[in-house]
Structure formats: structure tokens, C-alpha cells
């Protein structure tokens, strides 16, 4: 059975351990590339989540991983204020797969409030 891992800042990812994720703490963007490389060498990993804050600091690492690996990698937004790149990425993926922009109304509402 494939394992799910989450990579990111320790204080943000520890809660995922309780729902069965393998937790891989990373505090520096340079360490992200190394940890992702180690995970690609394992045949039991099927899903990797990366916190938005660490992924934003190393976008090239994420793209390179996706081009070289068949493992699913998703950047996840966290509760801390971030650049919302994960939200935008999810929005584009849904629009590509379904052909509609499900979040347009929500984003417009948020822009008007902010």
C-alpha cells in the first residue's frame, strides 16, 4: 500500500501524523530538494504534500520533482498567512480538469473584502 508524506515546517505538519501521514520536517528550501530526492527513491511513497510556505521559497524544486517523478506532489495551503500560491495552483488544476472555474466567485468576494 502506498504511503502519504507531508514535507514542510515541523510546527505546521505534525498534526498530519495523527491521520497516517509520514511527517518529513524541513526548515530550509535547500533541504526540500534533498528530502524530495530521498522520497523518490522509495517505492512505497504514492503521495507527497508540501506546505505552501516552503514550496514558495523553492518553486524550481517542485517543478523539477514533478517532471522527474510519477509520485503525486501537491502544494497545500496552510493556516498561516501565505502567498496563496497553493490556492491558485489548485484552482488552475480544477479548471483544467473540469473546464470551469469553481472558485471564481469566492476569490472575487475575498478581493472585494480585502
Q: What was the pLDDT predicted at 96?
A: 64
Query: How far is it, in rounded angstroms, from Cα 51 to Cα 114?
Result: 24
State the pLDDT at residue 25: 96
Cα distances from 99 to residues 85, 92, 106, 110, in angstroms, run 20, 10, 17, 22
Instruction: Write down the pLDDT at residue 2.
Output: 85
* pLDDT confidence of residue 34: 94
Structure confidence at residue 89 (pLDDT): 65
- Say what the pLDDT of residue 91 is: 67
Low-confidence ranges of the chain (pLDDT < 50): 108-111, 113
Give the separation between CA 101 and CA 98, rounded to whole angstroms.
8
What is the maximum span of the chain, computed from C-alpha positions, in angstroms?
Answer: 46
| pLDDT reported for residue 108 | 46
Domain limits, the chain: 3-78, 84-114
CATH number attached to the domain at 3-78: 3.40.50.10580
Amino acid at each position: 500500500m502506498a504511503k502519504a508524506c507531508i514535507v514542510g515546517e515541523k510546527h505546521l505538519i505534525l498534526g498530519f501524523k495523527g491521520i497516517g501521514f509520514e511527517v518529513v520536517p524541513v526548515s530550509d528550501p535547500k533541504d526540500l530538494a534533498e528530502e524530495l530526492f530521498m522520497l523518490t527513491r522509495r517505492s512505497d511513497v504514492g503521495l507527497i504534500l508540501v506546505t505552501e510556505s516552503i514550496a514558495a521559497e523553492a518553486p524550481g524544486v517542485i517543478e523539477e520533482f514533478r517532471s522527474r517523478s510519477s509520485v503525486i506532489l501537491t502544494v497545500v495551503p496552510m493556516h498561516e498567512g501565505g502567498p496563496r500560491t497553493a490556492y491558485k495552483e489548485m484552482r488552475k488544476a480544477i479548471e483544467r480538469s473540469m473546464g470551469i472555474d469553481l472558485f471564481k466567485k469566492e476569490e472575487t468576494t475575498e478581493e472585494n473584502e480585502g
